[in-house]
Amino acid sequence: MAYTSFVAVGDSFTEGLNDPPVGTTGATQGQADRFRGWADRVAERLGQVQPGFRYANLAVRGKLLDQIVEHQVPLAVEMKPDLISFCAGGNDLLRPGSDPDRMAKKLAGAVRDLRSTGADVLLFTGVDPRDTPIMRRVRGKFATFYLHIRSISDLYGCRLVDQWSMQGLRDWRAWSDDRLHMNEHGHRMVAAKVLDVLGVPSEDSWRTVWPPRENVDARAKRREDAQWVREHLAPWIGRRLSGRSSGDGLDPKRPDLTPFVGDSSIL
């Protein structure tokens, strides 16, 4: 199918943290339009094969499932695109007391609304957190939610992007320093996986095989972990305790469904 329009819905993963565009070395928290990400990469490829292609990205970092369903899903429904991506719930699962069964019911209702427009809908499982020291403690909760997503995808005839099976994403070289968001390599892999699911050729492959890494000195690893706690984990916990979000005050980077070409050199 040649898609003529695409709307991306979600949180930081879909917004594109931390994948800066060509010609930049990064972006600050307030520069939401400075990130590319897998969704932009997919839109750029779809725009290459379909003249007049239109794209909107409504995702905002830090948003919870309920917020995405309340604020972004209705906008996507109104836009009536050919293709909608919907990935949400990761920020909820990181919070104590989150219920993957309740979350799945909320997500299913939103998927039903999105599919009622006639659009193809992309759903996502997350990456297996077993290699992440903190998140692996709640691996069962993540797995339960992702199994629900598989069931919802089957029930409503969605296209499923299974990141759990992407072994290349289990390597830290696919992730940025905060260990929560993918870097350029990770976003490229996800974009290639999405295009594969859509049946659109891509120059990239999601089946990345990383070269072996040199052994890391144990003391250096401890210093690296301590630095991560100071620079990333502690601020994240501080925001949770204060009720703040990294997305507070930020607007979507592409709020309107408008023509989009992008940088054809990236895929």
What's the average pLDDT block by block, 10 residues per block, for the chain (267 residues)?
94 94 48 78 95 97 96 98 97 90 98 98 94 79 97 98 95 88 96 97 90 76 70 69 68 96 52
SS3 of the chain: helix, strand, coil, percent, to 5: 50, 10, 40
- Respond yes or no on whether the N-terminal peptide bond of residue 215 is cis (omega within 30° of 0): no
Which strands make up the sheet holding 83-87, listed edge to edge? 159-162, 120-125, 83-87, 5-10, 54-57, 254-259
Instruction: State whether residue 59 is helix, strand or coil.
Output: coil
- pTM score: 0.87
| pLDDT at residue 223, rounded to an integer | 74
| pLDDT at residue 264, rounded to an integer | 44
Distance CA 149, CA 39 (A): 19
What CATH architecture is 5-206? 3-Layer(aba) Sandwich (3.40)
Task: Provide the residue ranges of all domains of the chain, joining segments of one domain with +.
Answer: 5-206, 217-246
- For residue 121, give the H/E element and its range: strand 120-125
Beta-carbon neighbour count of residue 44 at 10 Å?
21
| pLDDT at residue 230, rounded to an integer | 73
Give start and end residues of each alpha helix (H) in the chain: 12-15, 37-49, 65-67, 73-79, 90-93, 100-115, 139-156, 184-198, 218-228, 234-242
Distance CA 205, CA 189 (A): 6
| pLDDT at residue 20, rounded to an integer | 86
